[in-house]
Structure 1
Amino acid sequence: MSLNDRIPNLAQPADNCYCGGMVDEAALVAARDAGVRHVVNLRPDAETPDFNEAEAVAAIGLIYHHLPIAGPDDLNDANVRRFDEVMGEVGDESALVHCASGNRVGALFALRAGWLKGQAPDAALALGRSHGLTKMEPAVAKLLGV
Structure 2
Amino acid sequence: MVAFIAAIGCGDPPADPGLNNDAVSASVEEPAAAPAIDAPSLREADLGAAQPAHRAGNVYLSGQPAPEDLAKWAELGVKTVISLRTDGEIDWDEAQAVGQQGMTFVSLPFRGADALTDEVFNGAREILRKAEDEPVVLHCASSNRVGAVWMAHRVLDEGVDVGRAEREAREAGLRSDDLLARARQYIEQHSTSPAPAEATH
**What is the rounded CA distance, in whole Å, between the counterparts of 2:71 and 2:94 in structure 1?**
12
C-alpha contact (below 8 Å) 1:39/1:65 kept by paired residues: yes
Bigger CA radius of gyration: 2
**Structure 1 stretches of 4+ moved >4 Å:** none
User: Normalized per residue, which structure has more helix?
Assistant: 1
Does the 8 Å contact 1:81/1:112 carry over to 2? no
Letter in 1 for 2:54: A
Q: Deviations over 1:71-103 (max 9, x none)?
A: 222223232112112324555211111110111
Q: 1:65 offset after TM fit, Å?
A: 1.2
State the identity as a percent: 28
Post-superposition Cα deviations, 1:4-58, rounded to whole Å, max 9, x if no partner, equal: 44211011122x121111112101111112221211111112211x211111011
Conservation of the 8 A alpha-carbon contact between 2:146 and 2:174: no
Task: Pick from 11, 34, 37 the counterpart of residue 54 of structure 2.
Answer: 11
Shift of 1:59: 1.0
Name which of 17, 20, 29 aligns with 2:71.
Answer: 29
1:70 counterpart letter in structure 2? R
If asked which structure has higher relative contact order (CA below 8 Å, sep 6+), I would say: 2
Structure 1 residue 108, shift from structure 2 partner:
0.3
Alpha-carbon distance in structure 1 between the residues aligned to 2:85 and 2:179:
18
- Is the Cα–Cα contact under 8 Å of residues 3 and 27 in structure 1 kept in the other structure? no
Question: TM-score, normalization: structure 1?
Answer: 0.80
- Equivalent residue, structure 2, for 1:64: 105
RMSD: 2.5
Instruction: Find the aligned partners of 1:3 and 1:141 in 2 and give their Cα distance.
Output: 26
Q: Which structure 2 segments of 5+ residues have no match?
A: 1-44, 186-201
1:134 aligns with 2:174: yes
What is the number of equivalent residue pairs in this alignment? 140
Shift in CA distance, 3/40, structure 1 to aligned 2, threshold 3 Å: same
Contact 1:3–1:31 (CA<8 Å) still a contact in 2? no
Judged with a 3 Å threshold, the aligned counterparts in structure 2 of structure 1 residues 56 and 4 are, in CA distance, closer, same or farther, namely closer
Q: Tell me the SS of whatever aligns to 2:60.
A: strand
Give secondary structure in 2 for the equivalent of 1:46.
coil
Give the whole-Å Cα distance in 2 for the aligned partners of 1:113 and 1:10.
17
What stretches of structure 1 of length at least 5 have no aligned partner? none
Query: Separation in 2 of the partners of 1:64 and 1:77?
Result: 20
User: Letter of the aligned partner of 1:124 in structure 2?
Assistant: A
